[in-house]
Amino acid sequence: MTVNKEIKIKSDFVDVLKEKYLSYALSTITDRALPDVRDGLKPVHRRLLYAMSELKLGSENSFKKCARVVGDVIGKYHPHGEQAVYDALVKLAQDFSHRYPLIQGQGNFGNIDGDNPAAMRYTESRLTYISELIMEKMNDKTIDFVGNYDESEFEPKVFPSSFPNLLANGSSGIAVGMATNIPPHNILEILNMALKLIENRDISDSQLMSDFFGPDFPTGGLITSSREEINEIYSKGRGTIKLRCRWEEIKDKSSYSIKITEIPFGIQKSKLIEKLADCVINKSIPEISDIRDESDEKVCIIIKPKNKDITSKQLMSKIFQLSDLEISLSINMNVLQDGDNKVPKVLSIKNILEQWLDHRHEMLIKSNQYYLERAENRIHNLEGYLVVYLNMDRVIAIIRNSDSPKDDLITAFELSERQADSILDMKLRSLRKLEELVIKKDLKNLMKERNGIKLLLGSKIKQKNEMINQIIHLQNRFHDNAYLKKMGTRLTGFEDGAANEYKIDQIVSPVTLVLTDKGWLKTFSGHEIENQEIKIKDGDSIKYLHRLYSNDRVLLFSNYGKAYSLYLDKVNLSLMDYQPIRRFINLDSDEEIIELILDDSSNQELVMISVRGKGLIVEQTKMFSSTKNGKRVMRFTNTEDYLKLIFPIKGSHIAMFNSSGNLLVFNHMELKRMTQGSGIIFQRVKTAEIVDAKTLSPDDGITLISVKNKRSKFQLKDLENYIADRGRVGKRIAISNIHNFFFEKRSD
C-alpha cells in the first residue's frame, strides 16, 4: 500500500512538473520573447506604450518622470521587476537601438559606448509620433481589450498599427527552444513593398523585393552580402548577412589615417576599441601604431598605421578578420501569427507583409463599422431634434405640464427612448432658430458620410483603394515632414564584400607552427626559433613543427576520416599562450588529429588508408573547408575501423604492410580519384591491422626501421615478388615484431 502510494506521488509530481514547465515554456514564447506579427511588439512594450497613452504623454505633451511610467506599468499591467520594465523603456528611446524610436527620452538614456542610463527617478519620457501611429484609432473599437493580471484594469491585445513596426524596427528575443532576430528596415522600402502586395497578392518574391535592399540599421554601416543572398534570406525568413563599419582614408604628409564613422549594429564602441587595443598589444595586428576615440555625438575612431608599406584596404581587411568591425548577423524572422492564437512561425518578408495588411484590412473594416454606428446614432438624435423645431410649442407644453414627459414625447411624436432622452437633455439656448439650420446642415453631412461608409463596407475595390490611400498618406508624411524625412533616409549602405577581401601579400610574415601531442597549438614569429627553445607543458611533446608564413593554410586529418582547415591569417597566436586545437576546429571527444599536411599549390594527391586496409585517393585542394566542422572525407562501415595513414603521392606504386607481416605493392595509377566515400580495399587484412604505408617506384626498394632501435633495419631491393593487384593479401616478410617497424623516409 505504501509502495503504491509512493509511486503515485512520484508519478503525480512528474506529471505536474511536466505540465508546469510546458506552461512556462509556452508563456515565454507567447507572452514574453516573441513579437506579434501585427504590431511588432512584445507584451512589455505594448504595456509601456499603452500606459504612457493613458497618462496623456503624447508627442506634443510635456514629459513625465520615467519612474511614474514604470510604476503604472508594473502596478496595472506587468507584474514584473521594475528594472526590467525600465530597461525596456530605455531601449525604446535609444536611437542607436531602434531605427524608429517609440519613446522620446529626456536625460541620460545611455549611449553607444555601453554606459548605463541614469536612474528612472532622474529621466523623463513621452511618446513619439511613430508610437502614436501604432496606436492610432485604438479607441475606435478596432481592437479588443482584455483584463489585466487581477482583472482590475483592461489592456489592448494588439494595437491597430498603421505603422509597420515589426519590419521597421525589428525585434529580438530568446524563448524556450526558439528565438527571433529581425533586423530593422527602411520604412519607405517597406511601404513600397506593401503597395505592390496590395495590387497583386500573387507577386513573386523577386518582383516584390525589386526595390528592397535589406536591413537598414540605426547605426549605419555597410552590408557586404550580395543582393541575391539578401533576397534568398528574406524569401526563407532566416539566414546570415555580413555587416561592417563605414570608414575612410585620411591622407597626411607622410602616411595616412583610417577614420571609422559608423560601427556595426549592436556593437558597444568601448568594447570594440578594447578588443582592437588587445590586438595591437598581443601583436595580432602589429601594423597598427595607435588607436584613438575622438567620438562626440557621432562615432569617430582613428586608426594610425606604423608605416605606409601596407595600404589602408589591406590593413582594414586584416582588422575585419580579427575584430567586430565586421560581424555576421543572424536573421531569424520567428514571430507570433494567427491572431490571438499566437502560433510561433518563421515567416518570409512576404508572409509578414501579408499578415500586416490583413490586420490593417481588419482595422479598416472595424473602424468604419464604428464610424457607421456613430453616424447613425447621431443622425437618429438629430432627427429627434428636428421634431422639436417642427413642433416647438407642443413639445414645450408636454415638458412643462406632463408628469412623465419622456413617455408622452415618445407617444406623441413616435420617438425612440434615446431621442426622447436627448431632447430632454437639450439646453434652452439650443432652441434658437440658428441652431435649427445647423442641425439640418449636420444631418445632411452625416447622411452623406453614412452613405460613403456603407459603399466602402460593401465594396472590396473601395477597401483596397482606401488601404492604398492610407499607405500613400503615410509615405507622404515621411516625405513632407522635415523630421520624418530624415528618418526615412536610408542609413545602411552596401559594399561588395568579395571585391574587398584583400589577400595581405605585402604583410606576409614568417611563423613557426607547433602542435603538441596533447592538442595544444601555438605559432611563433619568425623561422629562427630552435626546437630546444620551444617550451611546452610537462608530460607533453611536440607532434608537428612547421616553418610557414602568416597567409598559409594547413589541413588537419583526424582518425574519424575528417579534414579540418586551419588558416594562419585567422589564427594568429604569436606571443600568446598555447591554445587548445579544439578552439579552432570542432573535434568530438574521442577524435584525434593523426596528420598535418601543408597546402601545396601543385594540387597534389593524397592517399588515405584505414587501419582495416581500405583506402581513398583524393585531391588535396578539395579537402579545404570554411567552417570549424571540417569536411567528412572517409566514411567507415565497420565500427572498429578508423583512418590510420594519410600522405602525398610521390611515386607510381603504394607499398603497405600489416601486423601479420604481409607486404603488398600495387600500382595506384588506374585507381579512381574521389572526393569522399567509404573507400575501396587496398590490402585484405582479415583480423590484422595496417602498420605503415608509403608511395614509391618499384625500382627504389624499401627499408623498414624499428621504432625501438633505429639501427635495426630490414631492406628489400627487389620488390617483384610483392607486386600484385590491389585488394590482395600480399606476401609475408620475415620480421618478428613487425608492428614495431615503419618505412624509412616515408613520403609524407
Choice between 748 and 729, residue whose per-residue pLDDT is larger: 729
- The predicted-structure confidence for 448-502, as pLDDT tens digits, reads as follows 999 999 999 999 999 999 999 999 999 999 988 888 888 999 999 998 754 444 4
Predicted pLDDT of residue 369: 96
Give 29: exposed, middle or buried? Use CB within 10 Å, 0-12, 13-18, 19+.
buried
Predicted pLDDT of residue 504: 42
Predicted pLDDT of residue 258: 94
Give 435: exposed, middle or buried? Use CB within 10 Å, 0-12, 13-18, 19+.
middle
Chain-centroid distance of CA 396 in Å reads: 73
Catalytic, out of 122, 149, 483, 549 = 122
| Predicted structure pTM score | 0.68
DSSP letter for 58, please: -
285, 287, 290, 293 alpha-carbon torsion, rounded to 10°: -60
Least confident of 94-103, 125-134, 455-464, 580-589: 580-589
Q: Which domains does the chain have, with CATH numbers?
A: 41-160 (3.90.199.10), 246-324 (3.30.1360.40), 354-488 (1.10.268.10), 510-589 (no CATH), 602-747 (2.120.10.90)
* pLDDT of 233 over the 70 cut: yes
* Average pLDDT rounded to a whole number, residues 708-732: 85
- The predicted-structure confidence for 145-188, as pLDDT tens digits, reads as follows 999 988 999 999 999 999 999 999 999 988 777 889 999 999 99
Mapped to the 3 state alphabet, what secondary structure does 407-427 carry? HHHHHHHCCCHHHHHHHHCCC
- Which secondary structure element, helix H or strand E, spans residue 305, and what is its range? strand 301-305
Contacting residues for 357 by C-beta, under 8 A, at least 6 apart? 194, 197, 198, 467
Predicted pLDDT of residue 502: 42
Residue 122 catalytic? yes
Contacting residues for 476 by C-beta, under 8 A, at least 6 apart? none
Of the candidates 568, 581, 560, 575, the one whose C-alpha atom is nearest the C-alpha of residue 518 is 581
Residues 645, 609 contacting (CB under 8 angstroms): yes
CA distance 206 to 60: 41
